[in-house]
Amino acid sequence: MRNNQRITTALLVAAVAATACSKSNETQQSKGPEPQFSAKMTTVAMTKDIPKEVPAIQETIAKPISDSFSDGEAAYNAGKFEDAVKLFDQYTVQKPKNEWGHYMLGLSAWKAGDLEKSEKAFNEALRLDPDHFKSLLHMSRLLVDQKRYEDAVVRLTHAGELDPNSADVRR
């Protein structure tokens, strides 16, 4: 968190300096379009101190969301499954057509104990890509956990057709 605040401060100082210089035309070397400022922030701590002449930065920092798949994946890999669920929830809202986001939401929710959310997420991944092998495989495991064996066999059969040599399917 402290590292994020340092990065935020550095970005704000640079942005304010760039804004001040660009108003006086001192740093403008090309006549092309100005670069867009983009920053990924998860804290709102400093928004009250942002100068009013930098509204784009204020708007970016004020959004406590992460649009990064890797943030959710890092939370998942760290065993912070509830955090991963929140991050992948946000990711799938921002990128609803990405089956991998829904797959990771399903996997995270399953590990967090939310079987209903997990099933919905796996189903959405499979709606987007009916041949999404990992969603088929993990959905079948979820269904086995729920003792819904017939439904699980349907998913496993499809996965087996996609990859007949898969040890995961046989297991």
> What is the rounded distance in angstroms from the CA atom of residue 55 to the CA atom of residue 57?
5
Q: Place 7 in a pLDDT band, splitting at 50, 70 and 90.
A: low
User: 12-61 pLDDT, tens per residue?
Assistant: 445 444 444 444 443 333 333 433 433 343 333 334 444 444 444 444 34
DSSP letters for 53-79: T-HHHHHHHH------HHHHHHHHHTT
For each of the domains in the chain, give its residue range(s) and CATH number, in order of start.
2-62 (no CATH), 69-170 (1.25.40.10)
Model's pTM, two decimal places? 0.60
Do 103 and 119 touch, CB atoms closer than 8 A?
no
User: 80-137 pLDDT, tens per residue?
Assistant: 999 999 999 999 999 999 999 999 999 999 999 999 999 999 999 999 999 999 999 9
